[in-house]
Structure 1
Amino acid sequence: MYRYFTELSYKGTGFHGWQSQPNAVSVQEILDRALSVFFREPVVSVGCGRTDTGVHATQFFAHFDLHTPYGQADEDNRLEKAVNGINALLPYEIAVKRVFPVGPEAHARFDANSRAYHYHLHFNKDPFLLDRSWLFKGVLDVEAMNEAAALLKDYTDFSCFSKSHTQTFTNNCRITEAFFEPFDNGLRFTIRADRFLRNMVRAIVGTLVLVGKQEVDLERFREIIESKDRSNAGQSVPACGLYLVSVTYPFLS
């Protein structure tokens, strides 16, 4: 078997997340169908992670195996041309950026050493941000939100922000970045970590919004994290504002 990585992006509005599932259209299902047609053999991809229904990705990686190598001496050139052929088989909401060979043990999910997300929210009604950002009606104390966000780097156990009953062995993550900044007539939250739990980013943003509304102070924010209890944290914010924007690997520059 010959292993390849593909880098892609997608608008998640019309999909039930990345992962294939019965009776629902997913990004993985559509991608695998296009890859299978183009390479003329059944292809089952493995993604770098899961995104939930309505969540977007500006950078996402997946790996897949082929029984025969695609191309020989001019393999790189053929793979560059393959991108156009694969994209022609995909809906406009999914775009493959590149396809490249990797070692047989390379793994899109387990080899990733960091991931970063953005969360977008805006304050004034804007039809061009529909399904791409969360419309928040109110005033937020962004300075207090950033003070609370900085506290995330002091902890590793984020059970309080995780969806219950997930198939994970640990709720420990190492967060290296977490901050809000002005963006597109609203705010953009950036968070980077070695791994993320199910629903984690949306729950963190929902809790930080409570800080911004002055309903939760910094001491209480610490107590929420240390409680390891999801019921103490804020509600998950809508999926429309969440983007997976960066996935890094030790073997990719």
Structure 2
Amino acid sequence: MNNYKITIQYDGTRYKGWQGQNSTGLTIQGKIEAVLGQMAGHAVEVIGSGRTDAGVHAKGQVANFHIEEHFTEGKILSYLNHYLPDDIAVIAVEQVDERFHSRYAAKKKTYRYHIHMGEISDVFERKYEYQYEKTLDVERMKEAASYLIGTHDFTSFCGNKKMKKTAVRTIYEINFTKKGNDLWIDYRGNGFLQNMVRILTGTLIEVGDGRRAPEELPQILESKNRENAGYTAPACGLMLMEVHY
């Protein structure tokens, strides 16, 4: 059985997320599986490094799939990009060891959240940023973010209240880059819960606009209660940048 690793970019605006669903064909996984099935002549399961929510984008999503037939990497790359819609692109194909698993083998992930501050939106970037009318105090946000670095139980920042698995995750870095009215927040960790980056961002925004104090973050973590954290920032501003192996 041949195992192939693919790196994917997508504009998630019109999709219902990564994960395939029986109720809709508008998922990233579903689109890729359909094209691979057409190429191979049978159903092909695509395993993603993780799920992205509806409306979330990716520059470096990683997935793998097994097929009995041997195709060259170039053939797969060409075929996928010929038949996939214009808002999904496979940028690399690599044949890997049969045991490689894109989710279990992942060591770190980097997500980026883009906020555009001010009353005037950027027409050309509006699908890839969160338009926030107020100017945020980035120094306060940095102070709040410092409490999130390390290994913690992030139950308070999980959108799935019924999740039974552990919510312990490690965040290695949270970096802020400000240029004019644009603010990018980069999160690097060993894994992220459902909606976690968007809830973290919403909470940091509430610190940046003065609704919360930076010192509240340890209490929010310790409470393990979603209601104590901030709102869920919109999906449009979030991008999966890289999966590290």
Q: TM-score range by the shorter chain?
A: over 0.9
Partner SS for 2:135: coil
Give TM-score, length-normalised by structure 1. Answer: 0.91
Q: In structure 2, give the amino acid aligned to 1:132.
A: Y
Alignment-derived partner of residue 122 in structure 1: 116
Cα deviation code 1:41-95 (max 9, x no counterpart): 321101000000000000011111111222xxxxxxx312431221010000000
Alignment-derived partner of residue 190 in structure 2: 194
Partner SS for 1:86: helix
Alignment of 1:65 with 2:66, yes or no, is: yes
Alignment-derived partner of residue 2 in structure 1: 2
Answer whether contact 2:148 2:217 (CA < 8 A) is retained.
no
Answer whether contact 2:40 2:69 (CA < 8 A) is retained.
no
Partner SS for 2:165: coil
Give TM-score, length-normalised by structure 2. Answer: 0.94
Cα deviation code 1:100-136 (max 9, x no counterpart): 1111111011110000100001023111112210000
Partner SS for 2:178: strand
Alignment-derived partner of residue 220 in structure 1: 216
Answer whether contact 1:20 1:29 (CA < 8 A) is retained.
yes
Alignment-derived partner of residue 16 in structure 2: 16
Which piece of structure 1 moves more, 214-223 or 57-66?
214-223
User: Percent of counterpart pairs with the same letter?
Assistant: 36
Alignment of 1:27 with 2:21, yes or no, is: no
Partner SS for 2:169: coil
Partner SS for 1:174: strand
Partner SS for 1:147: helix
Distance 2:56 2:164 in 1: 21
CA deviation after TM superposition for structure 1 residue 39, in Å: 2.9
Alignment-derived partner of residue 175 in structure 1: 171
1:168/1:195 CA distance change after superposition, 3 Å = farther
1:27/1:154 CA distance change after superposition, 3 Å = closer
Q: Decide which of 87, 111, 135 is 2:81's aligned counterpart.
A: 87
Alignment-derived partner of residue 47 in structure 2: 46
Which piece of structure 1 moves more, 152-161 or 135-144?
152-161
Q: How many residues align?
A: 242
Distance 2:212 2:133 in 1: 18
Which piece of structure 1 moves more, 110-119 or 159-168?
159-168
CA deviation after TM superposition for structure 1 residue 37, in Å: 1.6
Alignment of 1:146 with 2:142, yes or no, is: yes
Distance 1:65 1:167 in 2: 29
Answer whether contact 1:177 1:191 (CA < 8 A) is retained.
yes
Distance 2:187 2:180 in 1: 18
Give the gaps of 5 or more residues in structure 2.
Answer: none
Partner SS for 1:59: strand
CA deviation after TM superposition for structure 1 residue 164, in Å: 2.9
Task: Choose between structure 1 and 2: higher strand proportion.
Answer: 2
Distance 1:161 1:80 in 2: 41
Cα deviation code 1:208-253 (max 9, x no counterpart): 011101121122122111111100000000000000001011xxxx
Alignment-derived partner of residue 73 in structure 1: none
1:84/1:166 CA distance change after superposition, 3 Å = farther
Distance 2:70 2:39 in 1: 13
Partner SS for 1:144: helix
Provide the aligned C-alpha RMSD in A: 1.4
